[in-house]
Chain A
């Protein structure tokens, strides 16, 4: 990936379903319509990387109204992938480039971003925050490019100096649709529509602060799960011990000024309420 390319080719067996964008090492974002020809019920795909390697991916979420899909890379931490691709918000009047080519196609797309992101009524019936692009290459259709990343060169705005020292080309969108020619609707125009990466980030719950906060706290929340067969007495003792430790910590924080008196009192009430709930058989730490 020395060329800083972040596309993936989504395959099911020998068939190429479309392209996707490796937004982090763990997730690929793509246009949901790329997956419409997958085998019924199949959720697993081969993800071919720019360096020729293939990794396995599993469909995690579909957002039908926005025509977006999220694929999780299996064992993501083992493939030596970059933790996150460079991304940015789309700036108008800059050049864009796509590094992806569909199988059998040698043309890489490029052109200009023409507008700030706008709400766009998708062919799938929903609305997404769209980046409108003109494309320089005249092809009969751009269908095979769906789901591939759109990157831009920072500082390419008219009249502006180039951004010194910025070698990366941040990805700003994911190609979604081609626009038909207004004069002849049987032809494709030179206008393409991409979903902004920002839009994708906002739509998938896996990218929400609430979900991420939960991920940060996983070990503590699963501590009880590790001993599902534990006897009730042991569980009660564990609950009392952890609450006792928490109450001691609250006292320490109050003494150190981390918590005010009122905050500490409120936290104590919550801790005791939580303990009562747990002793009564409720779920722990949720």
Chain B
């Protein structure tokens, strides 16, 4: 692969997968891919390429190539800073990248990506999706006023909308942020209402994707953790134990399906540790 040959993502991913499988010659090829990546055109120009990028990063994480991982993240930061993503795709690509930045604890890059995403939103769904996602990111960092404000902005944009499936994820994120914020405020009445909404939406999400899909598992975890929190508020130890066991199995499914180093797997394990400690 010569410099500037613009290897498509499938080829880059295949090389990284060979390296994960332990093929010794693949490591040299992978190093060349990594060296060329900053100069390549089209690395992050479409939502599909952003998905490939995240997959590639996951493979680097599996390989324990921490400096290569950081350098590759830097490529994404440069794309965001320079607004290299074409305008028509910027909103979705930046949303995807903000998730990656958030998973790596880079709040500043995540915010930069999300601010640009909001400016590039081209439909009410794009806007609502981005606001809801922004709310989740801020909630993750414990900035509840901003998290709730973004969730409300997203909620405002869902009024009068139709077509359930496209909005389901947005609504789940809104309900999740509002639930967590209510718990943070010790507003138990609101927490119960949002938990009820979450249960309803998560069950729809599971039905939508089918039980084998990682998003169904993610929805199950969201629903179980919300109900565990309500059980904790009620002092219902029996339910807390049962829900801890549900989350324990969910943690094993996530770790074995996505790999123990996957951010979703780590996140479920951390959640399990918290609920287990709360139940003990």
Asked if A and B bind, the verdict is: yes
Binding site for B on A (CB under 8 A): 23-27, 76-77, 80, 83-84, 86-89, 91-93, 116, 154-155, 157-164, 170, 196-198, 201, 206-210, 212-213, 215-219, 249, 252-253, 256-263
A83 near B22: Cβ-Cβ < 8 Å: no
25 contacts between A and B (CB under 8 A): A26-B248, A77-B241, A80-B280, A84-B269, A86-B255, A89-B257, A159-B27, A160-B64, A162-B64, A198-B256, A201-B253, A201-B257, A209-B216, A213-B203, A215-B242, A216-B223, A216-B243, A216-B246, A257-B155, A257-B156, A257-B159, A257-B161, A258-B175, A259-B171, A263-B164
B21 near A201: Cβ-Cβ < 8 Å: no
Q: Residues 17-56 of chain B: 1 if any A CB is under 8 Å from the residue's CB, otherwise 0?
A: 0001110100100000000000000000000000000000
Measured between alpha carbons, how far is A220 from B62 in the docked complex, in Å? 41
Measured between alpha carbons, how far is A215 from B231 in the docked complex, in Å? 14
B24 near A201: Cβ-Cβ < 8 Å: no
Most buried by B among A77, A155, A196: A77
For B163, give the chain A residue with the smallest CB separation. Answer: A260
Residues of chain A with a CB closer than 8 A to B255's CB: 86-89, 170
Q: Which of B63, B212, B250, B279 sits near A160, CB closer than 8 Å?
A: B63
* B220 contacts partner chain A, Cβ-Cβ < 8 Å: yes
Q: Residues 198-210 of chain B: 1 if any A CB is under 8 Å from the residue's CB, otherwise 0?
A: 0111010010000
* B130 contacts partner chain A, Cβ-Cβ < 8 Å: no
Residues of chain A with a CB closer than 8 A to B24's CB: 158-159
B164 near A262: Cβ-Cβ < 8 Å: yes
Q: A26-B248, A209-B253, A262-B163 are in contact. List 6 more A-B contacts (CB 8 A).
A: A91-B62, A154-B64, A212-B246, A216-B220, A216-B224, A216-B227
Chain B, range 133-180, C-beta contacts under 8 Å to A: 155-156, 158-164, 167, 171, 174-175
B252 near A24: Cβ-Cβ < 8 Å: yes
Residues of chain B with a CB closer than 8 A to A77's CB: 241, 244-245, 279
Give 9 closest A-B pairs by Cβ, nearest first. A93-B22, A257-B158, A209-B211, A198-B256, A88-B260, A24-B248, A84-B248, A83-B276, A77-B241
A84 near B167: Cβ-Cβ < 8 Å: no
Measured between alpha carbons, how far is A260 from B247 in the docked complex, in Å? 30
Residues of chain B with a CB closer than 8 A to A249's CB: 196
Interface of B is mostly: helix
* B251 contacts partner chain A, Cβ-Cβ < 8 Å: yes
Measured between alpha carbons, how far is A149 from B22 in the docked complex, in Å? 23
Residues of chain A with a CB closer than 8 A to B21's CB: 92-93, 116
A210 near B211: Cβ-Cβ < 8 Å: yes
* B272 contacts partner chain A, Cβ-Cβ < 8 Å: yes
Measured between alpha carbons, how far is A86 from B273 in the docked complex, in Å? 12
Measured between alpha carbons, how far is A163 from B260 in the docked complex, in Å? 12
Residues of chain B with a CB closer than 8 A to A161's CB: 64, 66
Most buried by B among A159, A210, A259: A259
Place the interface of chain B in its size category: 35 or more
Measured between alpha carbons, how far is A89 from B20 in the docked complex, in Å? 12
Measured between alpha carbons, how far is A88 from B61 in the docked complex, in Å? 14
Q: Which of B65, B242, B257 sits near A198, CB closer than 8 Å?
A: B257
B242 near A218: Cβ-Cβ < 8 Å: yes
B256 near A219: Cβ-Cβ < 8 Å: no
| A29 to B: closest C-beta gap in Å | 10
Measured between alpha carbons, how far is A218 from B175 in the docked complex, in Å? 22
Q: Which of B162, B167, B224 sits near A212, CB closer than 8 Å?
A: B224
Residues of chain A with a CB closer than 8 A to B224's CB: 212, 216
A212 near B249: Cβ-Cβ < 8 Å: yes
Q: Which of A87, A209, A260 sits near B161, CB closer than 8 Å?
A: A260
Residues of chain A with a CB closer than 8 A to B263's CB: none
* B217 contacts partner chain A, Cβ-Cβ < 8 Å: yes
Measured between alpha carbons, how far is A99 from B259 in the docked complex, in Å? 22
For B259, give the chain A residue with the smallest CB separation. Answer: A89
* B72 contacts partner chain A, Cβ-Cβ < 8 Å: no
For B212, give the chain A residue with the smallest CB separation. Answer: A209
Most buried by A among B174, B216, B217, B261: B261
Residues of chain A with a CB closer than 8 A to B243's CB: 215-216
Measured between alpha carbons, how far is A216 from B199 in the docked complex, in Å? 9
Measured between alpha carbons, how far is A278 from B252 in the docked complex, in Å? 37
Given contacts A209-B217, A262-B164, contact A157 B22 (CB under 8 A): yes
Most buried by B among A80, A92, A257, A263: A257
Given contacts A159-B27, A258-B201, contact A91 B242 (CB under 8 A): no
Measured between alpha carbons, how far is A23 from B256 in the docked complex, in Å? 11
Residues of chain A with a CB closer than 8 A to B120's CB: none
